């Protein structure tokens, strides 16, 4: 399945239609005929889809984590050559969204390249080792792998046998490079050797790029938010009054000036998601209210004994400014916050346990599908323990109650009722004061205007990565030649 351009409506893709029966437990997908795999040219069948669902769910890696709580791997079957039936362990009100993450692979190619032993029982490594070496792609999509050089680039080329429709001037090939440094980005884009920038540049770099003729900066409305996640098991953050005080110690307006790729947060999840309800009370920068909350805490009078650390990652431009912003305000009420620069891999490792990460971990988090419950599940369900999506580490009683509420909302088939439960969850989580909800993330990407890019016009779903659907882009090579001729 896929999203209709510029909407959150799920439309047919590899499945031409689908239906849910038996109270949402059984999903039947009717496959598109004539779809061919990359390289082998073999037609995709229900057996490939069954294998792919099993592989993704059993491996539970990447987006497979979304399928694990729901799909009964013993009850995924091919009814006939073009019909697949998936039985769930329990009803799931959002399974239509989750099914968009079923990535179908050429089962025959993968099976030929399974290596034993491996971590997946009888399936050994499920072909992961071979696939990660980048020999070839085994999907059905509009572009296929041509070259993979680890640490350098990925080159994909048009799939001439794709069943879908390319834009009239869609690129013949796309080279994806990992460039996050401002200097080479400016150089390459000014020479028209880089067409679309990364999302992780400093604000001033986008300003410089925007001054160059033929380059614009797209504002991508992602389902993303910048959180300052507070570890509720570490003192003094185990006291809810201290956490509430930090709400008041964050200067939200100044944050938006320092980090202009954000907009003012109005809820605990991004405001453009389905089912968002606003903060149940005002969130503001107020030093006196912060002091009042601290005076109610068990740590009042001894705050100097409990210094806190907040991290920043060197590759993330401007993040140190956020730490200093909070630390400066905290100092006025007797709280000591140290700003610690850490390598990203160290942060990832530290967050696998409650006692190893710092007290406050800033993190951009993006949701996996349009409903607000997606972000709530990703951020605060216990299944996110040990990942970069969660640093709150609630007490066992609170986490148990929170999990039950989240799972109940996800299992609710009636959309109106599910959104009502989502609103209740938003209110419940807000009053735990688990994080500072700094701002909604608006992804900036500089791009050459000789590219007609639907996402730059707002025609995109807010899921991270779905902005670059290359088959929908048009290249105006005449305009590129004109711009190059200006030098």
- The tens digit of pLDDT for each residue in 306-355 reads 999 998 886 666 788 999 999 999 999 999 999 998 888 889 999 999 99
Query: Does residue 213 register a pLDDT over 70?
Result: yes
- Which residues, at least 6 apart from 282, have a Cβ–Cβ distance to it below 8 Å? none
d(CA 119, CA 124): 6
Confidence of residue 135 (pLDDT cuts 50, 70, 90): confident
> Which pLDDT does position 7 carry in this prediction?
60
Sign of CA dihedral 89, 91, 93, 95: positive
Cα angle 218, 158, 57 (rounded to 5 degrees) comes to: 80
Place of tokens 């680890």: 150
Element (H, E) at 276: none
Look up residue 240 and give its two tokens: 């809810």
Look up residue 347 and give its two tokens: 């942060």
Average pLDDT over residues 257-281: 95
Question: What does pTM read for this prediction?
Answer: 0.93
Average pLDDT over residues 188-193: 96
The candidate with the shortest Cα–Cα distance to 270, out of 24, 132, 443, is: 443
d(CA 71, CA 55): 12
Q: Maximum Cα–Cα distance for the chain, whole Å?
A: 73
Query: Does residue 10 register a pLDDT over 90?
Result: no
Domains and CATH numbers, the chain: 2-111 (3.90.76.10), 222-441 (3.10.105.10)
Average pLDDT over residues 296-306: 96
Sign of CA dihedral 198, 469, 8, 374: negative
Place of tokens 């150089």: 187
Query: Does residue 149 register a pLDDT over 60?
Result: yes
> Which pLDDT does position 486 carry in this prediction?
72
Give the lowest-confidence range in 91-100, 116-125, 394-403, 452-461.
452-461
């Amino acid at each position: 399945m896929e999203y209709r351009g510029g909407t959150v409506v799920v439309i047919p893709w590899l499945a031409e239609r689908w239906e849910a029966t038996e109270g949402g437990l059984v999903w039947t997908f009717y496959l598109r005929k004539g779809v061919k795999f990359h390289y082998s040219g073999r037609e995709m069948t229900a057996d490939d889809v069954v294998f792919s669902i099993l592989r993704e769910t059993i491996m539970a890696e990447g987006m497979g984590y979304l399928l694990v709580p729901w799909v009964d791997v013993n009850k995924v079957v091919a009814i006939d050559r073009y019909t697949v039936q998936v039985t769930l362990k329990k009803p799931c009100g959002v399974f239509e969204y989750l099914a968009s993450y079923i990535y179908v692979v050429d089962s025959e190619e993968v099976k030929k390249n399974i290596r034993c032993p491996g971590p997946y029982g009888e399936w050994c490594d499920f072909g992961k080792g071979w696939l990660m070496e980048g020999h070839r792609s085994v999907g059905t999509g509009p572009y296929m792998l041509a070259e993979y050089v680890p640490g350098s680039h990925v080159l994909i080329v048009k799939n001439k046998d794709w069943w879908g429709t390319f834009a009239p001037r869609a690129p013949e090939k796309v080279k994806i490079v990992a460039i996050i440094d401002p200097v080479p980005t400016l150089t390459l884009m000014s020479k028209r050797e880089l067409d679309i920038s990364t999302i992780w540049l400093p604000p001033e770099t986008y300003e410089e790029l925007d001054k160059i003729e033929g380059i614009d900066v797209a504002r991508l409305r992602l389902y993303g938010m910048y959180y300052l996640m507070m570890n509720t098991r570490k003192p003094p953050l185990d006291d809810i009054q201290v956490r509430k005080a930090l709400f008041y110690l964050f200067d939200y307006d100044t944050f938006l000036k320092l980090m202009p790729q954000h907009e003012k947060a109005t809820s605990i999840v991004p405001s453009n998601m389905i089912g968002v309800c606003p903060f149940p009370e005002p969130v503001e920068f107020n030093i006196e209210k912060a002091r009042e909350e601290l005076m109610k805490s068990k740590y009042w009078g001894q705050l100097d004994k409990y210094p806190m650390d907040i991290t920043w990652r060197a590759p993330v431009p401007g993040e140190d400014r956020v730490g200093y912003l909070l630390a400066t305000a905290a100092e006025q009420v007797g709280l000591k916050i140290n700003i610690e620069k850490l390598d990203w891999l160290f942060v990832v490792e530290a967050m696998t346990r409650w006692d190893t990460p710092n007290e406050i971990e800033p993190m951009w988090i993006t949701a996996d599908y349009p409903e607000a419950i997606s972000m709530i599940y990703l951020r605060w369900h216990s299944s996110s323990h040990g990942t970069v999506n969660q640093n709150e580490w609630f007490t066992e009683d609170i986490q148990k109650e929170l999990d039950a509420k989240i799972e109940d909302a996800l299992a609710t088939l009636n959309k109106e009722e599910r959104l009502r439960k989502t609103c209740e969850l938003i209110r419940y989580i807000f009053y735990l004061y688990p994080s500072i909800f700094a701002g909604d993330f608006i992804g900036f990407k500089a791009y050459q205007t000789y590219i007609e890019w639907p996402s730059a016009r707002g025609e995109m779903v807010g899921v991270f990565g779905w902005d670059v659907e290359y088959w929908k882009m048009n290249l105006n090579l005449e305009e590129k030649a004109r711009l190059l001729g200006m030098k």
